Amino acid sequence: MRIESVTAIPVRLPRDLAAARGTAGSPTALAGSAGYRWSKDYPCLYSADFETALVRIEVSNGLVGWGEAQAPLAPEVASAVANLLLRPAIVGE
């Protein structure tokens, strides 16, 4: 079995910021109105949306697998790393 393709896809989904607290959102209220906002209690930046990168890998026998690259901020960056660096290194292996 050989890896035939690797595709990383950045995902950004809106969320209800008023209700976003705890494990499915930021742990505190967020300051600002931009896409990325500072926590009012911690020196951390959070996204106003849910963000991640999905990775699709297909192998020579037709099997397809999906995974998630941890990308809570700027999923385009994790996707670019997978598409530009990882893909050429492992396709054909």
Return the pLDDT at 41: 85
3-state secondary structure of 5: strand
pTM of the model as a whole: 0.80
Structurally, how many domains does the chain consist of? 1
Contact 48, 30 (CB under 8 A): yes
DSSP string, 14-75: E--TTT--GGGS-SS-EESSSSEEEESSSS-EEESEEEEEEEEEEETTS-EEEEEE--SS-H
Digit-coded pLDDT (tens) for 15-51: 776 665 555 566 677 788 888 888 888 888 888 888 9
Task: Tell me what the mean pLDDT of segment 1-13 comes to.
Answer: 96
Return the pLDDT at 67: 96
Domain that holds residue 51: 3-90
- The CATH number given to whatever domain includes residue 55 is 3.30.390.10
Mean pLDDT over the full length of the chain: 88
- Euclidean distance between CA atoms 67 and 91, whole angstroms: 16
